[in-house]
A and B are shown apart, each in its own frame.
Chain A
Amino acid sequence: MTAVLRTSGLVRRYDSGTGEPTGVLGVDLEVPRGVVYGLVGPNGAGKTTLLSLVSGLRRPDAGTVELSVDRRRVAVVTDVPEFEPWLTAAEVVALAAHLVGADDSPAAVAAALDQVGLGEAGSRRVGGFSRGMSQRLALAAAFAGDPELLVLDEPSSALDPAGRTAVLDMVLAWGRRATVVLSSHVLSDVQRVADVVGVIHRGTLRYQGPLAELLVRHVRPQWTLHVRDSAEALTAALRRQPWVEQVVAGDGVVHVRGTDLEAGERGLVRVAAATGARVVSLGPEEADLESAFLALTGGPE
């Protein structure tokens, strides 16, 4: 798979006043074509700095940024989009399209506004727009340029749950036709839309690759068993297994946390059968990005 965006040894340092280096400290980012790439990390990890370097809004102290698409086909949406308050929404989109040489006809502008649910607000001046509407307008302005690479910095931050869902739906929809790089500290948002993730922590990339692989490699597998009778024998047998890290039982439910996904999937049924437990159901607990993130970064800050 070819990379749309690749950075090599990207460095941008800031003096935080604490003596510890901060910023982006040697990042080799590789964004494959046609994916939704989620850049995750806590506040201050270097996400916005990294995206600013990628967008050309800042210059690196060292390293390179390589784009395999024309700069005019890269659309950037910042975390707090702002527009001239005396322009209408349609004028903002027409301006955005014109500046990158895209179709700025009224029909194209209306289509872009419709796409983000602002079709009815095209003639309204943006000075009175809410934060959520501004975020949608920024996406419409980006979509109007028909970008091959869409860079979104915290697109769902500070939005209410409905607004967040709407924005993430738009990201998912756009991800089917172009490459999207999206940063967020809301891990569940990234887990919902991303195919590939980069975990950035204290300016360095701790993991980069498919989301599914991250979850398998860095999240302790967990299962839940529902049993009909007493689970004492089953619990005792499970605790003796080398691949079991923790067993919590009560009220006919047994939670098992393992150390090895494959061993667990093979061993659970065998152990349950050996103890004669009446198993009603057995299933994996969903692995989440937050657990993987904490495993990678050594816990919450």
Chain B
Amino acid sequence: MTLWRLEWLRLWRSYRLLALVVVFLLFGFAGPLLAAYLADLLESAAAADGFQVVVPDPVPADGIAQYVSNAGQIGLLVLVVVAAMALATDAHAGQAAFYRTRVPSAARRLLPRVVATTAAAVAAWTLGTVAAVYETWLLIGPLDAGAVVGGWALWIAYLAFAVAAVALAGAVVRSVAAAAGLGLGFMLLMPVLGLVPALDGRLPSALVGAPEELARGTAQLSDYAVPVAVTVAAIVALLAASVRFGDRREL
């Protein structure tokens, strides 16, 4: 039984992988459906009240935009909670002692948890994206394949950033709830910081809207070079800090 297999069992037996997949798949199917029929829903609701609402016909980018919007909120929240459950390594003193006395290195203890959680998030995001693209194609029309792949890949960096943020939170505070709260707070801080003109479009949060912007053709993949570089650097820094805190923290 290796630490890698342990993490697989953690995801599988505690239903955390299932929770992630269900949430992202749900939004993957629901997003394009809502985008396709939003106009009809609004028009019929308005007609019942004696109003007339004119809503433009949906375009394929609306399908992916709706999915990303939901995934970026509820999906991210679920990911942060799932990550905190794995990465708040000292939440239970007895378990922490079991691992610490056998694996003294925080890096060795943390790496499988970070990789497994990120892989689960990527799997869920991928399945949700496939569902969203398929249903968009069915209900609205085809999306540009290059744009979809580009947006999918950029979001992987964003998901890895979210997991790394929770890893640091788990190394700073002890309880699962505190780690989830701190991690979520950190993620919510990014768009706020993005309001600063000098940081606008340069932070990891700039990647959240990438799938929609690429699908609409309002941005090119190369436009995200800076936020991707910042995100990768932030992931490395967050994980390095997590290991440092993990090594220094006592039980």
Are the CB atoms of A78 and B10 closer together than 8 Å?
no
List B contacts of A94 (CB < 8 A): 1
Q: Are A84 and B95 in contact (CB-based, < 8 A)?
A: yes
Q: Does A176 make an interface contact (CB < 8 A)?
A: no
Does A55 make an interface contact (CB < 8 A)? yes
- Decide if B10 touches A86 in the complex (CB within 8 Å): yes
Task: Given A71-B104, A78-B93, A84-B10, decide whether A141 and B98 contact each other with a Cβ distance below 8 A.
Answer: yes
> Are A100 and B102 touching (Cβ within 8 A)?
yes
A75 to chain B: which residues have CB within 8 Å?
A: 101
Is there an interface contact between A57 and B95, defined as CB atoms closer than 8 Å?
Answer: no
| B94 adjacent to chain A (CB < 8 Å) | yes
A153 to nearest B CB, angstroms? 9
Known interface pairs A57-B250, A58-B251, A87-B9. Does A78 touch B94 (Cβ–Cβ under 8 Å)? yes
A125 to B97, CA, bound (A): 20
Q: Are B104 and A86 in contact (CB-based, < 8 A)? A: no
Contact B10 A95 (CB under 8 A): no
User: Quick check: B101 and A57 within 8 Å, CB to CB?
Assistant: yes
**Contact (A96, B102) CB under 8 Å given A86-B13, A104-B1:** yes
A83→B98 contact, CB < 8 A: yes
> Quick check: B6 and A95 within 8 Å, CB to CB?
yes
Contact of A82 among B3, B93, B102, B104 (CB under 8 A): B93
Query: Residues of A within 8 Å of B, CB-based: how many?
Result: 30
| A52–B14 CA distance with the chains assembled, in angstroms | 30
Among B90-125, those with CB < 8 Å from A are: 92-95, 97-104
Q: Which residues of A contact B103 (CB under 8 A)?
A: 99
Question: How far apart are B12's CB and chain A's nearest CB, in angstroms?
Answer: 9
Q: Name A86's closest neighbour in chain B (CB-CB).
A: B13
A75-B99 Cα distance, complex, nearest whole Å: 11
Task: From A58, A76, A95, give the contact of B1 (CB < 8 A).
Answer: A95
Question: What is the CB-to-nearest-CB distance from B48 to chain A, in angstroms, rounded to a whole number?
Answer: 51
| A71 contact set on B, CB distance < 8 A | 104
Using CB atoms, name the residue of chain A closest to B250.
A58
A97 to chain B, nearest CB (A): 8
Bound complex: CA A82 to CA B91 (Å): 11
Interface string of A96-121 (1 = CB under 8 A from B): 10111000100000000000000000
- Chain B residues near A (Cβ < 8 Å): 1-3, 6, 9-10, 13-14, 92-95, 97-104, 250-251
